Amino acid sequence: MILSLYRRLERIICTEFSDVVNDTKIIYSYTGRARKLRAFLIDESFVDIWYSEDGDYAYHWSKEPVSDWIYRCDNAPHQKWNYVRTFPKHCHWETQENVLESNLSDKPEDAVKEFFAAVRKLMLGLK
């Protein structure tokens, strides 16, 4: 199930965001399970997408090793962020500790489009 989800998301990314994405790769665990989907971006940064069978998710844009800057949206119910109006959904902006509301869709196909639209906007300086 997760593998088929990653393949659907991979098609969307490659089709609709080819202007900012160079390549994608499904990363497997040592036991052969699909662990996450990675998209390699044109600025040499990457986005990791992770889903669990239970619907937990994380979209993580990282500029490692050049910078510690991150943009991550996830729905991990960390009580530390329970003040966020959209809890447990939240986004980390620039640093792990700077947490904002997340309006990312609960439907993975829509969420990937929303997240990559934000990546494109930030990367290309669009308004």
Structure tokens at 92: 């980390």
Give pTM, 2 decimals: 0.92
User: 10 Å Cβ neighbour count for 9?
Assistant: 24
- When the pLDDT of each residue in the chain is averaged and rounded to a whole number, the result is 93
Number of domains in the chain: 1
Cα-Cα-Cα-Cα dihedral sign, residues 52, 58, 62, 67: negative
Model confidence pLDDT, tens digit, residues 46-94: 999 999 999 999 999 987 666 778 899 999 999 999 999 999 999 999 8
SS3 content of the chain, % helix, strand, coil (to 5): 30, 30, 40
